[in-house]
Amino acid sequence: MSISKFLKKNLSSFKRSKQKKTAVNSILNSEQSNEGVINIHRIDTGNVGDFYCAPHLYFDQLKTKQLDIFDIKSPSDTVLKNWITKISYNSLIIGGGGLLNRKSFELQMSLFEKLNNKGKKTVLWGVGHNSKNKKEFGKVSSYNINTSAFGLVGVRDYSMHEDWVPCVSCLNPIFDTKFETTQDIGIIFHKKTIKNKSLLTKLSKYPSTSNTTNLEDMVSFIGKSNTIVTDSYHAMYWSILMNKKVIAIPNSSKFFDFKYQPVISTFDDFENDFNKAQSYSGVLEECREVNHKFAEKVFDYLNL
């Protein structure tokens, strides 16, 4: 990287950091209300799991009430002003997704925690830890926020102290579709891994897709596979919901704390782990029931 590009990149990063802190202070120094409700999550059209992991997609009470957690760093003054206004005037449902123990969401999550002291009604719905530190894989025992500062809390990490509420995407009716199994092994790459050309070439004998595809194509790919190998959290989750055998290639702590654990492996060794993988029955029904019960509590708490 040239010196000019390095300086430009760091200047841009500095400006974004300053903008985010200014937005946070603006909210904390403003009067807060609970006039309506807004569902905050990572709205990423390039990551099918992030896009479909939010309650506003599955409940009429929340339809069209969504806000991207990353709008805090938008270069558009209009988008940023809308972000500040929506948070200040509404009760907040935060989630789902791996929004905890992750630096890119740390400032926003700290803000939502502090709003409890200003009378804000807040809900954590299906969020989970997402540390990239390999030393923490399988060892996360606490979150980087005080979850007791939120009005209602449901986390997708099974071993934590908070109530377990798996990702709400289980409510999507697409998981009721029946598929014919036509391939033994299917690989679903994360949107970053799909750019690794040498890895794709190495594994080219296996059918593959990525989490950059649309929901219908991903679920269809899972449906026709007997075993899924993936480094995408939602590909793992959805495969388990669909009674598939799963081998997970972890890229963060989030793979180690689901109630029904997949086999943990690597792209170099997964072929040696095929006989360890198992499928689970009844998971879809269980996850749906948990989310419906949690929704009742949320809507009662928010008077919806």
Interaxial angle between packed helices 215-223 and 233-241, expressed in degrees from 0 to 180 and rounded to the nearest 10: 50
The first and second tokens of residue 225, run together, are 């596979």
Q: How far is CA 46 from the centre of its chain?
A: 13
- Per-residue pLDDT tens listing for the chain (304 residues): 555 554 455 446 657 788 999 999 999 999 999 999 999 999 999 999 999 999 999 999 999 999 999 999 999 999 999 999 999 999 999 999 999 999 999 999 999 999 999 999 999 999 999 999 999 999 999 999 999 999 999 999 999 999 999 999 999 999 999 999 999 999 999 999 999 999 999 999 999 999 999 999 999 999 999 999 999 999 999 999 999 999 999 999 999 999 999 999 999 999 999 999 999 999 999 999 999 999 999 999 999 9
Question: What is the chain's length?
Answer: 304
Nearest CA to 88 out of 19, 38, 148 is that of 38
Beta bridge partners of 123: 93, 152
Q: Are 169 and 53 in contact (CB under 8 A)?
A: yes
Which pLDDT score is estimated for 14?
A: 57
Local structure of residue 137 (DSSP, 8 states): T
Domain 173-283 CATH class label: alpha beta
- The rounded distance, in Å, linking the Cα atoms of 139 and 63 is 36
Q: Sort 118 into a burial class: Cβ within 10 Å, 0-12 / 13-18 / 19+.
A: middle
The span from the CA of 235 to the CA of 248, in Å, is 9
Under DSSP, is residue 245 helix (H, G, I), strand (E, B) or coil? Answer: strand
What is the helix (H) or strand (E) element at residue 78, kind and residue range? helix 77-89
The span from the CA of 128 to the CA of 95, in Å, is 9
**pLDDT for the residue 16:** 77
Beta strands per DSSP E along 46-182:
66-68, 90-94, 97-100, 122-129, 152-155, 163-164
Instruction: Break the chain into its structural domains and give their ranges.
Output: 19-169+287-301, 173-283
Q: What is the pLDDT of residue 15?
A: 75
> Which residue shows structure tokens 């500040």?
84
In contact, 127 and 156? CB cutoff 8 Å: yes
